[in-house]
Each structure stands twice: as C-alpha cells, then as structure tokens.
C-alpha cells in the first residue's frame, strides 16, 4: 500500500491513542479508516457508506 496521508478526526480525544484517522484511497471514491493505536487494521469504505454510518451514529438509529 502506498504511503497515505492520515488525518485525525476533530472529535478524537487527547494523547491517549483513541483517535480515528481517515485517508483518501488511491482507488476513486474510497476512504481508508483506522484507529491510531492499531495502525495496521485498516478498513476501506465509500464516502456514501461512511456518511450513512455517521448519520446513524449521530441520530442514535443503530440496532444493537
């Protein structure tokens, strides 16, 4: 995988390693996600799917 430019979430907490990071993928319309304390565990998704997840999280509409 080529070198990625990771960006921390503005909602990430202090220096405890609890950070969600995003990077643009080389494939069109793809985004990489990872936790900063587990940098080798990378998930890849689409902007639309990520927006849907964020919307569900913010509205509390996720089933358990």
Query: Does residue 7 lie in a domain region?
Result: no
Query: Does residue 27 lie in a domain region?
Result: yes
pLDDT in tens, 33-59: 999 888 899 999 999 999 998 899 889
Query: Does residue 23 lie in a domain region?
Result: yes
Query: Does residue 41 lie in a domain region?
Result: yes
pTM metric for this prediction = 0.74
Query: Does residue 31 lie in a domain region?
Result: yes
Query: Does residue 1 lie in a domain region?
Result: no
pLDDT on residue 16: 63
Residue 25 lies in domain = 18-59
Distance CA 19, CA 35 (A): 6
Q: Which residues of 20-40 are buried (b: 16+ CB within 10 A; e: fewer)?
A: ebbbebeeeeebbbbeeeeee
Domain count, the chain: 1
């Amino acid at each position: 995988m080529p070198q990625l430019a990771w960006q921390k979430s503005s909602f990430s907490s202090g220096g405890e390693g609890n950070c969600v990071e995003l990077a643009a993928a080389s494939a069109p319309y793809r985004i990489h996600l990872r936790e900063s304390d587990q940098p080798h565990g990378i998930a890849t998704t689409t902007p639309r799917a990520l927006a849907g997840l964020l919307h569900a999280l913010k509205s509390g509409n996720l089933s358990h």
